[in-house]
Amino acid sequence: MELHENKTQAEQALLVSVDTGEFDAELSIDELEELAHTAGAEVVGKIIQKRPHAEAATFVGYGKLAEIIMFCENMHVDLLIFDSELTPSQQRNLEKLTKVRVIDRTMLILDIFAARARSSEGKLQVELAQLKYSLPRLAGQGQALSRLGGGIGTRGPGETKLESDKRHIRRRIQKLEEELRQMEKRRSLQRKRRKKDGVTSIAIVGYTNAGKSTLMNTLTDAGVLAENKLFATLDPTARALKLPDGRDVMLIDTVGLIRRLPHKLVEAFKSTLEAAAEATLILNVCDASDENCSEHLEVTKALLDELGCANTPIISVMNKCDLVGNIYSMPTFGNTCLISALQNKGIDQLLETIMKMLPQTRREVRLLIPYQSGGEAAFLREECTVLEEDYREDGVYLRAMIDISLLDRFKDRLITE
């Protein structure tokens, strides 16, 4: 058990985990501590119990439960946070025995999501996930919902209220799902329009707090909130980016990921991650200063595969390299760029790598435009990237990056020698 000084008047929380060997319990509970701080709680202790499996009734063993009860009384704990999803009965039993409010990892993340969602769609997705999570947990929520009558066929007013609440929640879930379906239709039309217009999209994905929003701001001046907190931004942000070769692309920042993200939350926020599934190229951003950066890359890669992005080109962007002593001794993964988005270091190399990995839709050519066809030169200056321009005896010489689709139109103006 680890103890921490009680520095603030925030809600005092004790973190509890059962180590069954399925995952690294130490790393996971450390991340749970970050989540708790993000939600505004003060962590006063962490308890990990090694067991072959969780106890069916109370999640932890009864001996460890007695230790938790004593710790809560001595440290005036307000909140117990468990690092796995509890069943409704486990949650009720734990609250009854400890006399302390109990939540699990999923509920904690949902609470953070609810506080951070800004767009209408993000708020709907959070509410839907919360309702689906709370529906099986309504039974036994205090005396007001308990059965007051007795005997077969007797229905007390508490049970009637419970059934009424469940019906209300189910209706609300159906309404939210329909609203989200309508939003998805609109988003699908927008994606089709962008595809028809030839818009190339690049998705920024990665572990939460890896610096995705900072990178977005560095590349596009997007003004996205960038804080040293988990899930600082939830809603996807799209901004135009002009590459050095003149190509215009759409850069999309997506919601951050975490280790052991509950599956129902992946489902709820899949639409915000669909930008990655539709993208031409993916930037997998990772905090190079984090000792678990290799694992973070794997967490993101696994979810991308689940979203159907296995064949999409990916650049591993190792961010915060200014905080790493010997960055070049770190293992790299495929196409890798070492950057510091905050210090604006390595950005040129990242842009070069992006240009190389994107499909070649533009080509550098040399053209000679007769003076009597000045409109063609004006068109090229407006629509293409002119790298060099010179006025010669027989016309205007241009070295430019032009769209491949324009090659046939200007084939008579090309200088091939």
Choosing from 357, 383, 405, the residue where a domain stops is 357
Q: What is the pLDDT along the chain (417 residues), one digit of tens a residue?
A: 444 444 446 789 999 999 999 888 998 898 899 889 888 899 999 999 999 999 999 999 999 999 999 999 999 999 999 999 899 999 999 999 999 999 999 888 888 877 777 777 778 888 888 888 888 877 655 443 333 333 333 344 455 677 788 888 899 999 998 998 888 788 777 766 666 555 788 988 887 778 888 888 888 875 554 455 555 445 567 788 888 877 788 888 876 776 677 666 666 666 566 667 778 899 988 888 887 787 777 777 777 787 777 788 889 898 988 887 665 555 555 588 889 888 888 899 999 999 989 887 778 899 999 999 889 999 988 888 888 999 999 999 999 888 888 888 898 889 876
Beta bridge partners of 401: 364, 385
Q: What is the CATH number of the domain that holds 387?
A: 3.30.70
Please indicate, yes or no, if residue 376 is contained in any of the structural domains: yes
Same domain, 350 and 211: yes
Please indicate, yes or no, if residue 192 is contained in any of the structural domains: no
What DSSP state is assigned to residue 162? H
Please indicate, yes or no, if residue 30 is contained in any of the structural domains: yes
Which residues in 227-360 belong to E strands, given as ranges? 237-242, 248-253, 281-287, 314-319, 335-338
Please indicate, yes or no, if residue 187 is contained in any of the structural domains: no
Please indicate, yes or no, if residue 391 is contained in any of the structural domains: yes
Choosing from 357, 374, 402, the residue where a domain stops is 357
Nearest Cα residue to 227 out of 110, 343, 116: 116
Instruction: Provide the domain count of the chain.
Output: 4
Number of other residues whose CB lies within 10 A of the CB of residue 238: 16
Please indicate, yes or no, if residue 323 is contained in any of the structural domains: yes
Give the domain range for residue 393: 362-413
Same domain, 302 and 333: yes
Which residues in 260-375 belong to E strands, given as ranges? 281-287, 314-319, 335-338, 362-369
Nearest Cα residue to 288 out of 239, 248, 337, 246: 337
Please indicate, yes or no, if residue 58 is contained in any of the structural domains: yes
Same domain, 297 and 220: yes
Same domain, 289 and 316: yes
Same domain, 230 and 142: no
Same domain, 103 and 160: no
Please indicate, yes or no, if residue 281 is contained in any of the structural domains: yes
What stretch of H or E contains 48?
strand 42-50
Q: Which amino acid is it at 179?
A: E
Q: Report how far residue 59's alpha carbon sits from residue 72's, in angstroms, rounded to the nearest whole number.
A: 17
Q: Write out the two tokens for 297.
A: 């890359």
Same domain, 235 and 346: yes
The answer to whether the CB of 384 falls within 8 A of the CB of 246 is: yes
Q: What is the CATH number of the domain that holds 252?
A: 3.40.50.300
The answer to whether the CB of 229 falls within 8 A of the CB of 208 is: no
Q: Looking only at Cα atoms, what is the longest distance across the chain?
A: 105
Beta bridge partners of 14: 45, 80
Q: What is the CATH number of the domain that holds 29?
A: 3.40.50.11060
Same domain, 21 and 96: yes
Same domain, 138 and 205: no
Same domain, 72 and 214: no
Same domain, 345 and 207: yes
The structure's pTM equals 0.65
Nearest Cα residue to 381 out of 246, 248, 250: 246
Q: Report how far residue 45's alpha carbon sits from residue 14's, in angstroms, rounded to the nearest whole number.
A: 5
Q: Which amino acid is it at 306?
A: E
Same domain, 91 and 17: yes
Q: Write out the two tokens for 155.
A: 């229905």
* Dihedral angle computed from the Cα positions of residues 401, 190, 131 and 11, in that order, rounded to the nearest 10 degrees: 30
